Amino acid sequence: MITLDHPLVIGSGVAGLSVALGLDRATVLAPGDLGSTSWAQGGIAAAVGGDDSAAAHTDDTLEVSGGLAVRRAVEILTAGGRDAIERLVALGAEFDRTATGELKLGREAGHGNRRIVHADGDGTGREIQRVLSTAATAADSVEIWDGWKALALVRVDGRVVGVVAADRAGDRTEIHAPGVVLATGGIGRLFKHTTNPEGVTGDGLAMAAQVGARLADLEFVQFHPTALMVDLDPLPLLTEAIRGDGAVLVDDQGRRFMKKHHPDVELAPRDVVARAIWWQHDRHAGAYLDASSIKGFPERFPTVFEIAREAGLDPRTDLLPVSPAAHYYMGGIDTDESGRTSMPGLWAVGEVASTGVHGANRLASNSLLEGLVYGARVAADLSGAAPVALPADAHGPAWAFETGLGRVSAIDEVRRIMWERVGLIRTGSGVWEARGRLLELEEALSTTIPGRVAFNVARLVTAAALRRSESRGGHYRADYPELDPFQTQRTLVEPPFVLDAR
């Protein structure tokens, strides 16, 4: 057993490293999987332009949230945009700038102003990860345990006191700490078609559920409208900024189709665009991104240009076939404005948390901002927390030491079920079918920790999708296609949860 006298941060993306860098001392478990931060193409939404304001950014965020975003949480998010950008610049972030040295600002769907800060065109995530990782590695106050993966939380007398973790060799031990921060990302790999890399499997959500932390809004999954439709896993993302710069969506006859779905056409909210593309494929009419009007495409979007060329396509002349794909999770562990969960000793931040800033549908490029702003708030809250005496006899769950670490083939079946029955278009009968099939797979999935995580998270999302009998934001029920004003409230899920008992 290892006992720390300072907070333990689980995850080394934008949220986790923002927490660690704000603490006097921190240990970070970095599992080695590439998280979502490095893959983020879109940018950071921040009201830094002369004609913009945090209030306008707040209004745009609330407008696309399906009525479920928490205004106070959103106001905290948008008010922190300028400081977040300035902190990154101070750490050496190299953002795209105009000829006069001003930040070059882009526009994306749902934003009324140009407020998206980019680095290297579509390489913002890589730049943020580089800057934060470099700063954390150089900081004497931060210790990074590379290759360590958290498997389960340790709870004693209603308080989280640590984790069971495996090192790079797979050897397991308990790590006790006066505060544990989950910054483990979303659940994108739960679906067959996703833009999320390996490692984004819902581990943090599953761990929090096992110890009885309150969860929220589990039915709300955001599907990005434009992933490149090729035979790859994950599907390559075609950033929304391409549409912000003038690209349009067309069918297999070259005709634009978004005009009949929303007055903002290609810059409509993500859920609207994603469903429109889904219906195009359902009618066998095709869906393509036409970016031929964009000048200097290779320089403006170097990542996307290389992705397309590897697929044998040239965005300057060819139509790019697109499909929706699971991208971001609005649900997660319920937290307050400082990242505190309902379980003492446990904080959550970033995509694994549900602060209420996104509601039923996330505004484009608010995710990196959330990690930066709320990561700093979690660090401030932990710094002010009273010291905690850790029990000497705490022990993690036995299964965390006994269950295998390898992957099971049944997870592929879970991903297929979730995509087809609990994906972009849902029906009550389809979700019930998914629930039954998941129960049939329970025994096979329980043989490894990844299988247990997939089973538990899939069950939780499925139960939430059944409970909300309306369509709102990222949750669309074809059997209840209208928004129900009587369901205009967040879904808070209290223990006990529907989890496997092994």
Tokens of 365: 């490029």
| Pairing label, strands 353-354, 180-182 | unpaired
- C-beta atoms surrounding 348 within 10 Å: 31
CA pair distance 358, 384, nearest whole angstrom:
27
CA pair distance 100, 114, nearest whole angstrom:
17
Q: Residue 157 region, left (φ>0) first, then alpha (ψ -120 to 50), else beta?
A: left
Question: Which residue of the set 87, 270, 377, 452 is catalytic?
Answer: 270
**105-106, strands of its sheet edge to edge:** 44-45, 116-117, 105-106
CA atoms within 13 A of residue 119's CA, in its CB half-sphere? 21
CA pair distance 472, 268, nearest whole angstrom:
15
φ/ψ (deg, to 5) at 493: -110, 115
- CA–CA distances in Å: residue 51 to residues 48, 57, 101, 307: 8, 11, 17, 35
Bridge partners for 8 per DSSP: 27, 180
User: Do 7 and 143 form a contact (C-beta atoms < 8 A)?
Assistant: no
User: Do 420 and 465 form a contact (C-beta atoms < 8 A)?
Assistant: no
| Nearest residue to 267 via CA among 201, 365, 370 | 365
Is 270 a catalytic site residue?
yes
Q: Which residues are catalytic?
A: 270
